[in-house]
Structure 1
Amino acid sequence: MWYGNKGEWSEVYTFLKLLSDGRLYAGDEDLNKIEEIYYPIIKILRKENDKNFEFHRNGNIKVVSGETQEVLLELEIEEFFHKSQVLLEKIYENIRGNFSVPEVEEFMKSIRCTKLKADNSDKTDITIVVHDIFTGYKPTLGFSIKSRLGNPSTLLNASQSTNFTFKLTKKISKQEVNMINNIDRTVARSYIIKRIEKIKELGCDFEFYDLKSKIFKNNLQLIDTELPKIIGYLLIEYYSTNYNRINELTERVKNSNPCKYQDIGNYPFYEHKIKNFLVDVALGMVPATPWNGNFNASGGYIIVKEDGDIVCYHIYNYNNFQEYLYTHTKLEKASSSRHGYGVIYEENGEQLIDFNLQIRFL
């Protein structure tokens, strides 16, 4: 029996719905479908237990062996549409946790899909061959799927690799360090806000120092050499205020201008760099793995909307994708005990404190 959460079942829903619809539409920065930009779907590719299967859409749906090109079975498109609607209703009905959908599972197994999630790597959740109406080509595109049918998913997960280190600009006594480190930790991120307030009351401020992970630092510098510092000060704004949305925090960092950019009124230095960072995280870059600048999800992003409609972001609506990520993401506090941050410590004669980065969709 397959048991999965809303996000996992949303991947099956996307597979069924796209095969029944036959088109993948682009979305604007507010997730609205752009009617004039779409990709006719030729086939969807799945790997199951080291075997490749192709689901061709041509009048009917043909399940084809990827190795021999033998047609294994042929079904009416209506069957895929019906099963997608059954699954959508089940996703709506289940409030939280894992659940099963026997009718859809039985259908999926009958078309050679042996498990809930296909064998995909990196950030690719579904692989589609489309007809590119702009160029006439038939590229194979890998998409990452994000569903809004359940709880908002993370864009970047917290780990010790996502800790940013700051130096206190003025030395404080051991008694003061102990007093700050013992400020109550029971309420969300407010205890870190209180620790920051107390540090500033003692005449200290925060100067960007480094990242815990050299790999993550190099990945960020590959995007832009100033990005480690910019994201660091984004975190300072988050942990010392009640703001959490990426666009609002970026505006606050822009106003303080820690990188001392000139003519900042005419050039969106901070916004541009943060938008590029968000896209690169969405499509390929992860903190703990050296990144070469290439996208793993070569097609882009597919978003399953609250009403079950599906839109995508690709090269033709790249600006919309940037804007969507910029206005629909927030910073979030992950476990400080698990990831080891928010405590003053000493290293190489400097008093340091770490702040952790985690990004979630709104």
Structure 2
Amino acid sequence: MITGNKGEWSEIYALFKLLGDRELHPGDNEINKIQNIVYPILKILRTEINGNFEYSIEDNIVVISGNEVIFRIPITEFKIKAQYLLSEIKTNQGTFALPEIEDFMKSINCLSLKASSSAKTDITIVIHDQRTGLQPSLGFSIKSQLGSPSTLLNASEATNFVYKIVGDSFSEADAEYVNSLYVKRGTKLMRDIKGRTKAIYERNGKLEFVKTQKQIFSNNLILIDSLLPQILASVLLQFTSSNQSNTEDLVKRAEEQNPLNFDTTDKHLFYSYKIKRFLTDSALGMMASKVWTGQYDATGGYLIVKTTGDIVCYHIYNKNEFENYLLSNTKFETASSSKHHFGEVYEKNGQLYFNLNLQIRFKS
């Protein structure tokens, strides 16, 4: 029996829905369809454990071919199954099975919820671009709003940023006070990261960025932009020192404050441009603890399954829309400080330090 959570079942829903609709719409930065741009779908490619399959659309029939096996299924079947599956995803919780959908999946040689792929591509779609006349094959990772929001950049010790505490009057007693600040969440006591950051400044301390905890992450960032470690360190500190968490709001604040003293005479949006590049590379393959070569995975974008069941796409094929979507729909958040070892004043070689952690998640 096949079981999965809302996000996993959303991958099958996307397959059914797109074959039923026979077209794909790009989205704007508010995740709304751009109505005047339509990409007719020619075929969808999916890798299964028993081979590669093509779902080709011919009039009102989906022709499924692979390993010399051919099925012909009416478009209406996919429409009906997509509607039923959407309803079930919305009403179920946790991990669940859907026998009726599983039977239909087997009938079209779809044997698992997640496509068998070593890359991040969940689904590959061949479209007809009416603007260029081309028929590109576009790889997508599927992100569903039907389940819990996923992370764009996962927290780890590699995403820790190291700051030194400067200020002659900041004492060991001040450090002990900062480390005594906790906040209760449910039944657990957690380090009060924002409260501790605030307390450092209230006791005449100041945080100055030194480096990322892991050099590999620093080098990945420098590959994207030579000043990206300092830019992210500044934005991360702004997040920790304020009530703002939306990436777009934090970047706007950075543009206003200009902590790196860029020449803004001609109103260049340095921070927005550089953070967009970082978000795009994070979305398409860059991970903090692995060497980043700048080579995107087979996927080049995201399909968003909205709470309404509509699907919109963002792809590097349409770079501006993709970047604007990432900037507008992500937020900074505080991960587990005990797990990733940050948020505590510590001493090394006579100098006091304080680490902050970077994690970025999609907004709900």
TM-score where L is the length of structure 2: 0.92
- In structure 2, the residue matched to 1:118 is 115
- Taking the aligned partners of 1:309 and 1:153, their CA distance within structure 2 comes to 18
User: Are 2:244 and 1:243 aligned?
Assistant: yes
Correspondence 1:88 to 2:86: yes
| Aligned residue in 1 for 2:165 | 168
Between the aligned partners of 1:170 and 1:291, the Cα distance in structure 2 is 36
**Which of 130, 135, 154 is the aligned partner of 1:133?**
130
Deviations 1:64-117, CA, capped at 9 Å, x for gaps: 11xx5x2432111111111111100001112x3122211111111221122111
Mark the CA change 1:264 to 1:293 in structure 2 (over 3 Å): closer, same or farther. farther
1:263-342 → structure 2 map (5 Å cutoff): 263=264, 266-315=267-316, 317-342=318-343
Q: Could you tell me which amino acid in structure 2 is paired with residue 318 of structure 1?
A: K
SS of the residue aligned with 1:319? helix
Cα distance, 1:318 vs. partner?
A: 2.3
Q: What is aligned with 2:106?
A: 109
2:184 corresponds to: 186
From 145, 149, 152, the counterpart of 1:152: 149
Could you say if the C-alpha distance between residues 347 and 269 of structure 1 is closer, same or farther in structure 2, counting changes exceeding 3 Å? same
Deviation at 1:255, TM superposition (A): 2.8
Q: CA deviation at 1:265?
A: 6.2
| Structure 1 stretch displaced more, 49-58 or 199-208 | 49-58
List alignment gaps of at least 5 residues for structure 2: none
Deviations 1:145-182 (A, max 9, x none): 11112222221111111111111113643333222212
2:70 to 72, 96, 117: 72
Q: How does 1:199-210 map to 2 (within 5 A)?
A: 199-210=200-211
Q: Percent identity?
A: 48
Residue 316 (structure 1) shift: 5.3
Task: Kindly state the Cα deviation for residue 20 of structure 1 after the two structures are TM-superposed.
Answer: 1.3
| Cα deviation 1:24-72 (Å, max 9, x = unaligned) | 111112222123322222221222225212212113112211xx5x243
Partner of residue 37, structure 2:
37
Shift of 1:346: 2.3
- Contact 1:284/1:297, CA 8 A, preserved across alignment: no
Cα gap change, 1:218 to 1:264, in 2 (>3 Å): farther
**Where does residue 63 of structure 2 map in the other structure?**
62
CA gap of 1:311–1:264, structure 2 versus 1, over 3 A, is farther
Q: Which of 72-81 and 180-189 deviates more?
A: 180-189
Q: CA deviation at 1:209?
A: 0.7
User: When the two structures are aligned, how many residues end up with a matched partner?
Assistant: 358
In structure 1, distance between residues paired with 2:315 and 2:150: 20
Whether contact under 8 Å (1:300, 1:312) holds in the other structure is yes
Indicate the RMSD between aligned Cα atoms, in angstroms.
1.9
Q: Distance in 2 between matches of 1:62 and 1:241?
A: 55
Structure 1 unaligned regions, length at least 5: none
Greater CA drift, 169-178 or 243-252: 169-178
- Name the CA distance, whole Å, in 1 between partners of 2:164 and 2:341: 16
318 and 154 in structure 1: CA distance in 2 versus 1, 3 angstrom threshold: same
SS of 1:37's partner is coil
Measure how far apart 1:190 and its partner are: 7.7
SS in 1 for 2:140: strand
Alignment deviations for residues 317-358 of structure 1 (CA, whole Å, 9 cap, x no partner):
422222222122111111111111101122344321111111
Q: Does the 8 Å contact 2:331/2:361 carry over to 1?
A: yes
Amino acid corresponding to residue 100 of structure 2 in structure 1: E
Deviation at 1:123, TM superposition (A): 2.3
One-letter code of the match for 2:20? S
After TM superposition, list the pairs within 5 Å mapping 1:40-55 onto structure 2: 40-49=40-49, 51-55=51-55
Q: Could you say what secondary structure the match of 2:355 adopts? A: strand
